[in-house]
């Protein structure tokens, strides 16, 4: 979260009027270098990000496999009952008590879960960013009102509220479900974004924009947002993690309405129908657990990897790889100037 890119943006903006040779193409190139290529390269240099991306692509692959119908659909009595994992390689993860292929169960629900996780993450972070930046930057009455509202939402514990809402709305659409699950997640996140914005708005470049008469919305989008974007990205991933934890937990205890199978339901079935009492059915519990933990692990790795690039306090003190990151950064800034 350094101020350098923004200071450089300021120079850019001026040189645009004076320097004729700076074409649109150059600026696009520069934007690509600054905002996309360099962060991506830095992110890729981190082992955790690489592993996280790898894990997440496995889940994407599973979703694609399901959408293209490359693996059989789950149905009862499609195989022998209680096959152990790797016992019969055409049912690699084993089967349930009704002879359903566990791998098919997991793959079938992957698109559903991914949509839900995405919807939850997008909803929670977008709302939090709007609320946090506006209330942090504007201050005064608007801040008081927004803070009061988010205080109220923060005062309601998430899961019980979701349970009551789930009974009222019975959300079966994954996108709606994602939104319901994170219905008040934005409040806490908005609060922490607000406190970051509070310190950012004291920076001199914001002051400069303000004295030039730039509108609040423009300042928030152009000057404030780029500063908190890294933090927002990390929290997007964490909100996604929360969505999957909450959904599976609630499916597991059977309070979310469901039409088909998904990981939480599979876990619930495995738990209710004997998975707890004998070792024979333990894989029935284990397979959905691995699916959930794997997805969450990928997300957490990604957020940790991103945190390392964006978070100067972790970056500066790390030796070795962090030095190369710093060098890369200084290189690009000198090029710019």
Asked if 326 interacts with other proteins (CB under 8 A), we say: no
Helix (H, G, I), strand (E, B) or coil at 328: helix
Pick one of 36, 61, 67, 164: the residue that binds other proteins (CB under 8 A).
164
Asked if 229 interacts with other proteins (CB under 8 A), we say: no
Stretch that binds other proteins, among 14-22, 91-99, 222-230, 275-283 (CB under 8 A): 275-283
Cα dihedral 165, 169, 174, 178, rounded to 10, equals -30
Pick one of 114, 267, 287, 306: the residue that binds other proteins (CB under 8 A).
267
Q: How would you class 317 by CB atoms within 10 Å of its CB: exposed for 0-12, middle for 13-18, buried for 19 or more?
A: exposed
Query: What is the maximal distance between C-alpha atoms in the chain?
Result: 77
Site pattern 4..23 for other proteins (x: CB under 8 A): --------------------
Residue 326 token pair: 């710093």
Closer residue to other proteins in complex, CB, 74/296: 296
Closer residue to other proteins in complex, CB, 111/264: 264
Q: Is residue 102 a contact partner of residue 92, using CB atoms and an 8 Å limit?
A: no
Q: How far is the CB of 2 from other proteins (least distance, A)?
A: 15
The helix (H) or strand (E) run that includes residue 155 is none
Long-range contacts of 214-217 (CB under 8 A, 24+ apart): 216/137, 216/138
Asked if 300 interacts with other proteins (CB under 8 A), we say: yes
Pick one of 2, 3, 15, 316: the residue that binds other proteins (CB under 8 A).
316
Asked if 292 interacts with other proteins (CB under 8 A), we say: yes
Q: Is residue 35 a contact partner of residue 76, using CB atoms and an 8 Å limit?
A: no
Q: How far is the CB of 116 from other proteins (least distance, A)?
A: 15
Task: Give the burial string for 269-299 (b: 16+ CB within 10 Å, else e).
Answer: bbbeebbeeeeebbbbbbbbeebbeebbbbb
Q: How far is the CB of 40 from other proteins (least distance, A)?
A: 21
Residues that bind other proteins (CB under 8 A): 48, 137-141, 143, 151-152, 154-161, 163-165, 167-170, 188, 192, 198, 201, 210, 216, 241, 245, 248-250, 252-255, 267, 271, 275-277, 279, 282, 285, 289, 292-293, 296-297, 299-301, 304, 311, 313-314, 316-319
């Amino acid at each position: 979260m350094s101020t350098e890119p923004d200071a450089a943006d300021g120079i850019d903006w001026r040189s645009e009027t004076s320097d004729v040779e700076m074409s649109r193409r150059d600026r696009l190139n520069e934007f690509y270098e600054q905002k996309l290529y360099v962060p991506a390269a830095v992110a890729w240099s981190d082992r955790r990000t690489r592993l996280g991306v790898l894990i997440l692509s496995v889940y994407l692959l599973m979703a694609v496999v399901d959408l293209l119908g490359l693996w059989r659909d789950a149905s009862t009595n499609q195989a022998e009952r209680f096959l152990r994992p790797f016992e019969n390689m055409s049912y690699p993860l084993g089967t349930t008590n009704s002879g359903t292929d566990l791998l098919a169960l997991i793959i079938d629900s992957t698109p559903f879960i991914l949509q839900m996780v995405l919807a939850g993450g997008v909803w929670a972070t977008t709302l939090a960013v709007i609320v946090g930046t506006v209330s942090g930057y504007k201050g005064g009455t608007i801040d008081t009102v927004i803070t009061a509202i988010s205080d109220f939402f923060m005062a309601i514990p998430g899961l019980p509220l979701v349970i009551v809402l789930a009974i009222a709305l019975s959300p079966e659409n994954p996108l709606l479900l994602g939104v319901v699950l994170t219905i008040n997640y934005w409040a806490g996140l908005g609060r922490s974004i607000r406190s970051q914005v509070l310190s950012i708005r004291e920076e001199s470049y914001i002051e400069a924009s303000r004295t030039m008469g730039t509108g609040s919305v423009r300042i928030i989008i152009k000057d404030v947002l780029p500063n908190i974007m890294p933090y927002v990205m990390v929290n997007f991933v964490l909100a996604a993690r929360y969505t999957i934890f909450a959904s599976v937990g609630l499916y597991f205890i059977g309070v979310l309405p469901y039409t088909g199978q998904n990981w939480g339901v599979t876990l619930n079935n495995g738990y209710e129908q004997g998975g707890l009492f004998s070792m024979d059915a333990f894989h029935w519990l284990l397979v959905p657990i691995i699916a959930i933990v794997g997805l969450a692990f990928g997300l957490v790795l990604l957020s940790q990897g991103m945190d390392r690039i964006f978070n100067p306090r972790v970056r500066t003190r790390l030796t070795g790889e962090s030095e190369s990151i710093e060098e890369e950064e200084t290189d690009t800034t000198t090029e710019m100037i």
